[in-house]
Structure 1
């Protein structure tokens, strides 16, 4: 709007966060209104490639006409590269927008610390409607409205993840000095989460295994290895040939790829070795499961929907991660010791914890291999896996 003395007098006090009204007459010229009713003239201008906010004066001690005149003088000085050379003028860095803070957060914080930084970036995209807002003008109500839309879409758990991500971002913004206090510091998750307990029964495991045979490389072998080894989906999908020692029957998952940051050693049962030995090298790629040669496989949602028909369309909702829980439960039924199951799953806490977790560095390779062979034998019995696998490999 074009600022006038009358319109400035009519501007209401900010309710929670200060706000700005920009002038249509002079580019970058504005008045900021605080929650105590103070009104200050500013000029936003890019100087030497960086956006700056220049304080002009407080209204009504400085009139609108005087502020405009000063703003025009500053713009002239900037254009002639003379601004602030004599020590006059007050530069104040402009408050970055949410989008700008997200970009910095991903580059400076998430990428160096989080292997799944792309997941964090994707979650923060849920707040894209607020991207143009200055970070210091985003309040609890804004965040609640975004979370409410996520819950209404039928994904309440994702709303919890979105809140956790934006909280971490806001805390980082406080640490960087962009805001003084996080507006959502004590905000509670929008929904209560119930830990998943889904375990596939024998018929469902059989359906998943045999359904995968129809997929062909690389999805057949991926689902079978995922079922046999019980490791995390992303870790299996990103498996490298350089991590495998097929002669010794060992998969070494480096700490850089393990979710908990701890190197993991997975002995390979005979059936898993047969499957891996059958896979051709794709264009000399290091990825075991790939369709491009340059990246691991993806499209797990579509793959799962195709397998749903075999697992059972009327079966309760299942996920690939449930295969991991199914293996752990099956091993317990086979009387495998709990600490061996945890070692196979690469869990840091639980049965082995405290001092024992610090000092017990035994890899349990023999015990893990024995347990994984037991589980592979059970899969073979349930699904006739060896004939089916051999038939698939021969074709």
Structure 2
């Protein structure tokens, strides 16, 4: 698209979507502005260098005005006519992040969504800064703000993912020096040991059953199976065999790279059979039919209100399941098999030669754990004065509340 660029036009132009809009200036060929669907506006200049068209980023609006951007474009075009090659423009952090996620994080890390979320949430203030101009003090300032906001652990995670991005950028020649190399985490990491009490388990199960699909049902399955949140979130119907009551987590989806068969207790089978299905979708827990469910924040807040506490994380459910099974007499090596731990009681040489699957033992452990949770819910309901029949709620009401889709 070509148009005479004016300050008024630049202030009001928007990208109609779904793609960004590029507008070339009629007064100065090669000069233009790119408007993203989110409203960002970037000046650029296109010129021919060694027979190839090269685009040079000049700056962003409104930090750089129309007059200054046009003057800079004139200088670039003038030098190009004299055979002077324009300098390489440094990519901004916001431009590097999607490249890092696509080329590095996705192929190597199942937790790439969390890495992307951390970058978007915590490092957004630096997104418009050229990556080569980011200073150590910039990172420290943001980390200090995160810690001051009461999330020191989150600050450690934010630093870790930015370090990976910077090292990746250094390897690719985007930067000459990693400005945060050697920067220590802002807080000392602590191994989390939170386990829900028996009273909290009863309240949690009641609250989860009252919560609508998909979060109410997925939270129950997380606690009943003891599997990782990412693995349960990405559960697919095609990986569930209802005849044998086994859910198979493929090796490529398991965190430790080992395929894992999870025996499903009768309680979990009942939950899964009650869930709605999206036409043409293989995801068990989804709100779109095209992607697995994500974003537990609002649902957790509602569960918190019902439980009367917010001092727990979704990952604590896995630890609670492991501790609960140990408490009711399940052997440690069986718990490890249920959790699909790669090392532990059975490790080293023993792990190499011991190929027994412990399928029946795992099934028995998970059935015992489900039964214990049901009894805890019943006992909790009696103690709280609930006159309804908790036995019926524990086996039939799983909070789906939706018809098949």
Fold match by TM threshold 0.5: yes
- Sort the TM-score into its range (normalised by shorter chain): 0.7 to 0.9
Q: Which runs of 5 or more residues in structure 2 are unaligned?
A: 1-43, 58-72, 379-389
Quick one: distance in 1 between partners of 2:92 and 2:359? 52
User: Match of 1:336?
Assistant: 330
> Could you tell me which of 152, 162, 165 is aligned with 2:161?
165
Structure of larger gyration radius: 1
1:295 aligns with 2:299: no
1:124 aligns with 2:126: no
> Superposition pairs for residues 205-216 of structure 1, below 5 Å?
205-216=201-212
TM-score of the pair, normalised by structure 2: 0.73
Give deviations 1:143-194, integer Å, cap 9, x for gaps.
1011111112221111111110111111111111122321211110001121
User: Match of 2:134?
Assistant: 138
TM-score of the pair, normalised by structure 1: 0.75
> Superposition pairs for residues 275-286 of structure 1, below 5 Å?
275-286=271-282
User: Match of 1:68?
Assistant: none
Compare 243-252 and 288-297 and name the one that shifted more: 288-297
**How many residue pairs get matched?**
326
SS at match of 1:93: coil
Deviation at 1:284, TM superposition (A): 4.6
Quick one: distance in 1 between partners of 2:219 and 2:358? 25
1:339–1:351: 8 Å Cα contact kept in structure 2?
Answer: yes
Distance 1:299 1:187, change over 3 A: closer
Give deviations 1:301-348, integer Å, cap 9, x for gaps.
11111112332x2x4601222111111011112222222111111222
2:209–2:398: 8 Å Cα contact kept in structure 1?
Answer: no
Quick one: distance in 2 between partners of 1:110 and 1:208? 34
User: Match of 1:377?
Assistant: 371
1:271–1:386: 8 Å Cα contact kept in structure 2?
Answer: no
> Could you tell me which of 175, 189, 192 is aligned with 1:193?
189
Higher RCO (C-alpha under 8 Å, 6+ residues apart): 2
SS at match of 1:50: strand
User: Match of 1:147?
Assistant: 143
Q: Which runs of 5 or more residues in structure 1 are unaligned?
A: 1-43, 54-70
User: Match of 1:392?
Assistant: 397
Quick one: distance in 2 between partners of 1:224 and 1:157? 26
Quick one: distance in 2 between partners of 1:235 and 1:386? 29
> Superposition pairs for residues 7-86 of structure 1, below 5 Å?
46-47=46-47, 48-51=52-55, 75-76=77-78, 78=80, 84=83
1:74–1:83: 8 Å Cα contact kept in structure 2?
Answer: no
> Superposition pairs for residues 231-242 of structure 1, below 5 Å?
231-242=227-238
User: Match of 1:363?
Assistant: 357
User: Match of 1:108?
Assistant: 103
2:90–2:130: 8 Å Cα contact kept in structure 1?
Answer: yes
Quick one: distance in 2 between partners of 1:209 and 1:72? 67
2:239–2:247: 8 Å Cα contact kept in structure 1?
Answer: yes
Distance 1:119 1:320, change over 3 A: closer
- Report the RMSD for the aligned CA atoms in angstroms: 2.7
